[in-house]
Amino acid sequence: MKPMLLRLLCLIGLGMVLHTQAVVAQGGSAAQSYPAKPVRLVVGYSPGGLPDTIARILAQKLGERWKQQVIVENKPGANGNLAADHIAKSAGDGYTLLVADSGTTAINPFLYAKLPFDPEKDLIPVVIVARAPLFLAVHSSVPANTFPELVALVKSKPGEFSYGSSGIGSIHHLCMEYLKSALGMNITHVPFKGTGQSVPALVAGQVPMVFSAFPSHSAYAKDGRVKLLVANSLKRSGFAKNIPTIAETVPGFDFAPTIGIFAPWERRRNWSTRSAPTRGRRSNWPTR
């Protein structure tokens, strides 16, 4: 798992962004002092999911590079909104950053009538660190070995199947709901409080299927407890090329989440135009 995830992370790009921020905000001498104290990476989800996994590897590698502690802090709740609001109200000093998926800033504004923060005004994107598909896994007892077989099975028994997700309004939830609508499936949603609960429920047979990232499923797929049927990205993942995509059945389908680093918008006040070419730039590292 570790080599695969390391390919997802733009550690060098992130380090350069933070280094640039420090130099611009505090003067040339900051190049030698940043970070002068521990850096916090706040994740809006419970431990075990893709954002949390990426944040923990970032923390380890950046800590080794900076010779300074990088702390991962989980603030789950409201589909990532609690953590985003916390960051939006934090000091813009470069020491408190948000690790979030695209749901927090691109989906939640359309799901919630009112948010405690404004994604456009209160948060500023620093860098994209990963774009990785979710994989639909089914329990080994489910008599389907391909996605078309699963769809046919579910449609033949309306209302008898369920699926687990990491929470109401999550990308995992909305992805399956879209498929339900597009393919005419009658299937019940069972929300959990994060991937750390939904995947164990799948393995235990409490729910027959779950969308989650490859690292969450891989060990169970290897020992035969679950079967990986399909990925929700447009193209096949380089880490599981034998697993087809939903787009091969539903043309154009692409629900793969993007993971990024965000800082408080207050940080912008301390930036000069010298940092503009770096802000929000996507890494050139492989993301799949």
Predicted confidence (pLDDT) per residue in 168-212, tens digit? 999 999 999 999 999 999 999 999 988 889 999 999 999 999 999
Predicted confidence (pLDDT) per residue in 52-87, tens digit? 989 999 999 999 999 999 999 999 988 889 999 999
R_g (Cα) of the chain, nearest Å: 20
Q: Which CATH superfamily is domain 134-248 in?
A: Periplasmic binding protein-like II (3.40.190.10)
Report how far residue 99's alpha carbon sits from residue 83's, in angstroms, rounded to the nearest whole number.
9
Give per-10-residue mean pLDDT for the chain (288 aa): 41 45 47 81 90 91 92 92 93 91 88 90 90 94 97 97 94 94 96 92 98 93 97 91 95 92 73 38 39
Could you state, in order of their start, the residue ranges of all structural domains in the chain? 2-131+258-275, 134-248
Cis status, amide bond into 51, omega within 30 of 0: no
pLDDT of residue 267: 54
Q: Tell me the average pLDDT of the chain.
A: 83
Quote the pTM value.
Answer: 0.78
Strands (E), the chain: 39-43, 70-74, 96-101, 123-131, 134-139, 161-165, 187-191, 209-213, 226-231, 258-264
Provide CATH code, domain 2-131+258-275: 3.40.190.150
The answer to whether 225 and 144 have CB atoms below 8 angstroms apart is: no
Check if 2-131+258-275 and 134-248 are the same fold: yes
Report how far residue 268's alpha carbon sits from residue 82's, in angstroms, rounded to the nearest whole number.
22
